Amino acid sequence: MVLSDSVVELSRLQFAITALYHFLFVPLTLGLSFLMAIMESVYVMTGLPVYKEMTKFWGKLFGINYALGVTTGLPLEFQFGSNWAYYAHYVGDVFGPLLAAEGLIAFFLESTFVGLFFLGWERLSRLQHLTVTWLLAIGGSLSALWILVANGWMQHPVGAEFNFDTLRMELTDFPAVFFNPVAQVKFVHTVAAGYTTGAMFVLGVSAWYLLQGKHLGIARRSFAIAASFGLASVLSVIVLGDESGYTAGETQKVKLAAIEAEWETEAPPAAFTLVGIPDDEAETTRYAVKIPYVLGLIATRSVDEEVLGIADLRQRARERIESGLIAYRALQDLHRDREDRNARALLAAHHQDLGYALLLKRYRDDILDATPEEIDRAARDSIPKVAPLFWTFRGMVFAGFAMLFIFAAAFYYCARRIAGQKRWLLKLAFYGIPLPWIASELGWFVAEYGRQPWTVSGVLPTFLSASGLQRGDVALTIAAFVGFYSVLLVVELFLMVRAVRQGPLPQP
Amino acid sequence: MDYDTLKVVWWLIVGFYLTGFALTVGFDLGIAILLPWLGRSDGERRAMLATVMGTWEGNQVWLVTLGGVLFAVWPLVYGTLFSGPYLAIMALLFALLLRPAGFDFRDKLKSPQWRRFWDWALFVGGLMPAVLLGVLVGNLLLGLPFRFDEGLRLTYRGGFLDLLHPFALVCGLVTTGLLVLHGANFLQCRTLGPVCLRARTAAAVGAAVALVGMGLAALGLVGIDGYRIDAMPDPATVFSPLDKTVAATDGGWLANFWHHPWMIAAPLTAIGGTLAAAALARQFVPAAAFWCSGAALAATLLTVGFALYPFLVPSSLDPNSSLTLWDAAASPFTLKLVLACTLVFLPVVIAYTGWVYRVLWGPINTATLNEEG
Taking only the tens place, the pLDDT of each residue in B182-192 is: 999 999 999 98
- What pLDDT is recorded for position A508? 44
Q: Does B265 fall in a domain?
A: yes
Contact A89/B58, CB-based, under 8 Å? no
Q: Nearest to residue A250, comparing CAs of A303, A323, A191, A190? A: A323
Chosen from B331, B348, B368 to mutate, greatest number of chain A CBs within 10 A: B331
- Tally Cβ neighbours within 10 Å of residue B27: 29
- What pLDDT is recorded for position A39? 95
Answer yes or no: are the C-beta atoms of A130 and A41 closer than 8 Å.
Answer: yes
State the pLDDT confidence band at B345, using cuts at 50, 70 and 90: very high
pLDDT of residue B365 exceeding 80, the answer is no
Higher pLDDT, B174 or A186: B174
- What pLDDT is recorded for position A242? 61
Residue A499: list chain B partners with CB under 8 A.
Answer: 108
**Chain B neighbours among A 94-123 (CB < 8 Å)?**
94-97, 99-105, 107-109, 111-116, 118-120, 123
Q: Where are the beta strands (DSSP E) in A427-479?
A: 454-456, 460-461
- Tally Cβ neighbours within 10 Å of residue A41: 15
Contact A477/B240, CB-based, under 8 Å? no
Phi–psi pair at B248, nearest 5 degrees: -85, 135
Ranges A256-270, B39-53, B196-210: which has the least confidence: A256-270
- Tell me which residue in B63, B96, B238 faces A165 most closely, judged by beta carbons: B238
Chains A, B: CB contacts within 8 A come to 241
- Domain ranges in chain A are 5-247+390-500, 248-384
Chosen from A3, A15, A74 to mutate, greatest number of chain B CBs within 10 A: A74
- The mean pLDDT value of chain B amounts to 93
- Tell me which residue in A80, A97, A476 faces B337 most closely, judged by beta carbons: A97
Q: Give every CB contact of residue B1 below 8 A, 6+ residues apart in sequence.
A: B9, B336
- What pLDDT is recorded for position B56? 93
- What pLDDT is recorded for position A244? 56
Contact A71/B152, CB-based, under 8 Å? no
B343 shares contact with chain A (CB less than 8 Å) = no
Biggest distance spanned by C-alpha atoms of chain B: 65
Answer yes or no: are the C-beta atoms of A454 and A462 closer than 8 Å.
Answer: yes
Measuring CA to CA, how many Å separate B371 from each of A503, B38, B47, B117, B285?
17, 20, 11, 18, 31
Contact B64/A473, CB-based, under 8 Å? no
DSSP A330-397: HHHHHHH-TT-HHHHHHHHHHGGGHHHHHGGGGT-SSGGG--HHHHHHHHHHTS--HHHHHHHHHHHH
Total structural domains in chain B?
1
**Local mean pLDDT, 10-residue blocks, chain A (508 residues):** 79 96 95 96 95 95 93 93 95 96 95 94 94 96 95 93 90 94 90 96 96 92 95 91 64 83 82 84 83 77 80 92 93 86 90 92 89 92 91 92 96 89 94 96 93 92 93 95 95 94 75
C-alpha–C-alpha distance, residues B4 and A306, integer Å: 51
- What pLDDT is recorded for position B286? 92
Q: Does B13 fall in a domain?
A: yes
Please give the ipTM for the structure prediction.
0.93
B75 shares contact with chain A (CB less than 8 Å) = yes
State the pLDDT confidence band at B366, using cuts at 50, 70 and 90: low
Q: How many residues does chain A have?
A: 508
Q: Left (φ > 0), alpha (ψ -120 to 50) or beta: where does A456 sit?
A: beta
A70 shares contact with chain B (CB less than 8 Å) = yes
Residue A103: list chain B partners with CB under 8 A.
Answer: 61, 64-69
DSSP state of A271: P
Element (H, E) at A502: helix A471-502
Measuring CA to CA, how many Å separate A486 from each of A9, A71, A78, B259, B334?
21, 12, 20, 55, 39
Q: Does B373 fall in a domain?
A: no
State the pLDDT confidence band at B372, using cuts at 50, 70 and 90: very low
Answer yes or no: are the C-beta atoms of A143 and A103 closer than 8 Å.
Answer: no
- Quickly count helices (H) and strands (E) in chain A: 19, 6
Ranges A303-307, B199-203, B207-211, B284-288: which has the least confidence: A303-307
A86 shares contact with chain B (CB less than 8 Å) = yes
- What pLDDT is recorded for position A256? 85
C-alpha–C-alpha distance, residues A500 and A311, integer Å: 52
**Chain A neighbours among B 237-256 (CB < 8 Å)?**
238-240
Please compute, for residue A140, the number of CA atoms within 13 A of its CA located in the half-sphere on the CB side. Answer: 30
C-alpha–C-alpha distance, residues A360 and A461, integer Å: 10
C-alpha–C-alpha distance, residues B320 and A472, integer Å: 29
- What pLDDT is recorded for position A506? 64
**Chain A neighbours among B 35-54 (CB < 8 Å)?**
53-54
**Chain B neighbours among A 448-487 (CB < 8 Å)?**
467-470, 473, 476-477, 480, 484
Answer yes or no: are the C-beta atoms of A171 and B333 closer than 8 Å.
Answer: yes
Shortest CA gap A311–chain B (Å)? 33
Percentage with pLDDT > 90 across chain B: 88
- What pLDDT is recorded for position A243? 58
Q: How many residues does chain B have?
A: 373
Shortest CA gap A299–chain B (Å)? 35
- What pLDDT is recorded for position B368? 59
Q: Give every CB contact of residue A472 below 8 A, 6+ residues apart in sequence.
A: none
Which structural domain, as residue segments, surrounds residue B183?
Answer: 3-368
B351 shares contact with chain A (CB less than 8 Å) = no
